[in-house]
Structure 1
């Protein structure tokens, strides 16, 4: 797990997380391309995965431009939801036997690590708003 201590300046931390989310989305693309070449069921998973993973990236970009804590909270909640959905589709592709667990496990683990970081950031904003 990456060290995400409080010693990084806020902008550097945001850039680091953006890089990780972007890399996650980019790593999903070849899996989606491969799934699209399979059955109709696999194509559906591919469409859902590419939509949710790219949405997580685009919405995190919007998080970084939030004008208030409330806007930050709302936008980061969307990122968390889309990232969680992406992880679901990756796990579902394993359940459907389109991929072996070993092929996508590191991507799933990275998704969960990013989720933990984002959930903590959202909770911090929520606690500080009270």
Structure 2
């Protein structure tokens, strides 16, 4: 299994590459900008979580990762509705975001459980 730090970085790059293909217009640009922002925030906040000062800080940073990945999924869902091309690429990105969320939620739950046991 790939290291999540690398996986979240690749997710951001893959979203950027997808967005690069989208035509420039006021309407598309709003969604493109949001997807680039949220997808890159997934990796940035995951890296920050790795340097957390405490378990509570780690959990809070992972919750941000979860929120940003979910936001990325939302914009990918919008692209699925409005585009008539690159749908397989969008579905693959959506699936990756969903898998990242699953991993992060499991990590949050483990950290909470470990925190209670201390």
Q: CA deviation at 1:100?
A: 4.5
Q: CA deviation at 1:25?
A: 0.5
The answer for the alignment partner of 1:102 in structure 2 is 88
Are 2:3 and 1:16 equivalent residues in the alignment?
yes
Task: Give the Cα separation in 2 of the matches to 1:48 and 1:99.
Answer: 20
What is the 5 A alignment of 1:25-104?
25-35=12-22, 37-97=23-83, 99-104=85-90
Q: In 2 relative to 1, CA 81–99 (structure 1 residues): closer, same or farther, beyond 3 Å? A: farther
Question: Structure 2: 5+ residue runs without aligned partners?
Answer: none
Task: Give the Cα separation in 2 of the matches to 1:84 and 1:74.
Answer: 15
Q: Deviations over 1:79-115 (max 9, x none)?
A: 1100111111111111122644323211211111111
Farther-moved stretch of structure 1 (98-107 vs 42-51): 98-107
TM-score, normalization by structure 1: 0.82
Task: Give the Cα separation in 2 of the matches to 1:32 and 1:39.
Answer: 12
**Number of residue pairs matched by the alignment:** 116
CA contact (8 A) 2:46 2:65 kept: yes
The answer for the alignment partner of 1:122 in structure 2 is 108
Report the aligned-residue RMSD. 1.6
Task: Give the Cα separation in 2 of the matches to 1:84 and 1:29.
Answer: 17
CA contact (8 A) 1:76 1:118 kept: yes
TM-score, normalization by structure 2: 0.89
Q: Deviations over 1:43-68 (max 9, x none)?
A: 10000000001111111110110111
